[in-house]
Amino acid sequence: MSTGLKVGLLGGGSWGTTVAALVARNASIKLWARDQATVLEINEQRSNERYLPGARLPAKLTATDAIEEAVAPMDVIVMGIPSQNFRMVLEEVKKYIRPWVPVISLTKGLELSSGMRMTEIINEVLPGHPAGVLTGPNLAREIMSGYAAASVIAMTDQVIMKEVQKIFHCGLFRVYTNHDVIGCEVGGVLKNIIAIAAGMGDGQGAGENTRSAVITRGLAEITRLGVAMGGEVQTFAGLTGMGDLVATCTSPQSRNRSVGFELGQGHSIDDIINKMYMVAEGVKSAPAVIDLADRYEIEMPIAREVYEVLRGGSNARTAFRGLLRAEIGAESEPG
């Protein structure tokens, strides 16, 4: 069912392209990608093989490498840009966006220089534009293959949120609403760090029981920091907390788990990153997460061990040994 809205989506990676394909069922969509070859491939071959091998894109999805074309006429802007480039692209959007147009983030990361969430950057660069986040346990290739999935749109303005919900909700892709922007966004960021830890265990053959413990204790860390930052505790038991965490910690499609797995196999972080052409947000955001933990005085032993490995102060084997030896106490206590 067409909403009659015009949507500009910025970012030609796997998730940005997938969301654009979903939106094409409900609205007029124009995808912006910096790479001209990607734009030509989407327009002429209906594919994006580098990021979504074998996937067929809908004819209604068209692409451009001119950012003005993807922003100026649009009723909604969707940002599928990696966290460390998010602000720079948003500054370009600012030149062309019409007043009061909502801006929705797909990005699960923190800006390293400021520790800011993506909706905070939207509010700073584009004051007056309703900001929101679409997040949840969403693996791009599964969704493009037609598997059922659920996601969450979070905004503070409930009226606008329900209209934006209609853009994304379609078929087997169910989109729920949530007013807790902080909680939904923080869950999406922090689960990437825990997924690296889970991957490090998997890479060392740690077993299902260990992975379950890492996921569960990881959720406790996420919840503690998220609530301290202003999120609501129940959010972390939902799709954007536990749901996203489980998917990211267990799927071979998860980039962050894959980074951890390679670390667990003894490879260096530099070698792993050099082989990747997609961003693992957990690697980028880890220092900002630890800064937030320190600022809010929250104990995050799993996140801290991951950070030490990523910065070269430890290795996966030593880190996992440290976690397994952690002092025991009540389950509700940190550690």
Q: Is 60 a catalytic residue?
A: no
Q: Exposed, middle or buried: residue 170 (CB in 10 Å: 0-12, 13-18, 19+)?
A: middle
Indicate the burial class of 220 (C-beta count within 10 angstroms; 0-12, 13-18, 19 or more): middle
Question: Which tokens in the block code for residue 296?
Answer: 């809010």
Task: State the catalytic residue, choosing from 60, 162, 166, 191.
Answer: 191
* Contact in structure between 300 and 314 (CB atoms under 8 Å): no
User: What is the per-residue DSSP string for 44-93?
Assistant: HHS--TTTSTTPPPPTTEEEES-HHHHHTT-SEEEE---HHHHHHHHHHH
CA gap 249, 198 in Å, rounded:
6
SS3 135: strand
Catalytically active residues are: 191
